[in-house]
Chains A and B, each alone.
Chain A
Amino acid sequence: GENVEQHPSTLSVQEGDSAVIKCTYSDSASNYFPWYKQELGKRPQLIIDIRSNVGEKKDQRIAVTLNKTAKHFSLHITETQPEDSAVYFCAALLGNQFYFGTGTSLTVIP
């Protein structure tokens, strides 16, 4: 199966600064990589995703980069705001199964 590792487990940044969360995966056959934001007690919400045939994707303050050779992908949040505070999960799709990272608890300090 696939093994997805996510770092860091916790991240604190000042409001307005950037935040970067990194994930690595083990199986080069994985071909789709979503990122989810989960606020306390709520459902995971898809915030951005990337397919293996693309190196970078951006949506306003959020971007994802993928390095297929190194088998890692990263979430970048710029100009962070307090409402960005949440747990962020990466995932990788291998076959018909999604493998999730262990999550990063992001705190944006006003």
Chain B
Amino acid sequence: EPEVTQTPSHQVTQMGQEVILRCVPISNHLYFYWYRQILGQKVEFLVSFYNNEISEKSEIFDDQFSVERPDGSNFTLKIRSTKLEDSAMYFCASSEQQDAQHFGDGTRLSIL
């Protein structure tokens, strides 16, 4: 069964540095998403992406964040000037239509 893959599985970064989290969605999927989950809390929507542009973003997704689909397979989340509170698990998800999402295994981001 095809899967969403995310790299790296764990990223440790100094506060103030930039990080790029990478995702390879399932190949025939058209909708892409990034979510954040702080330890022990609920999954929080960050952004949805369709047809090479952001279709919706949450209040969390401020100017510090950006997404890109640099080629036909990768979908990246960039966090500029990281803060301690950015420490969380970041999940990428994709779907064929705007319904059943398949999640990746996540990237655990630790800001020191």
Contact = CB atoms under 8 A, between A and B. Distances in A.
Nearest to B56: A96
Main secondary structure of the interface of A (DSSP, over half): strand
Residue among A36, A51, A98, A99 with most chain B CB within 10 A: A98
- Chain A interface category by residue count: 20 to 34
A93 B100 contact: no
Interface of A: 32, 34, 36, 42-46, 49, 51, 89, 91, 93, 95-103
Given A43-B91, A43-B106, A44-B91, A100 B101 contact: no
Interface string B78-112: 00000000000001000000111111111000000
Contact of B33 (A46, A49, A98): A98
Interface residues of B, number: 21
Contact of B56 (A34, A36, A97): A97
A32 B99 contact: yes
Interface in B33-59: 33, 41-45, 48, 50, 55-56, 58
5 contacts: A44-B91, A46-B102, A89-B43, A93-B98, A99-B45
Nearest to A32: B99
B101 A98 contact: yes
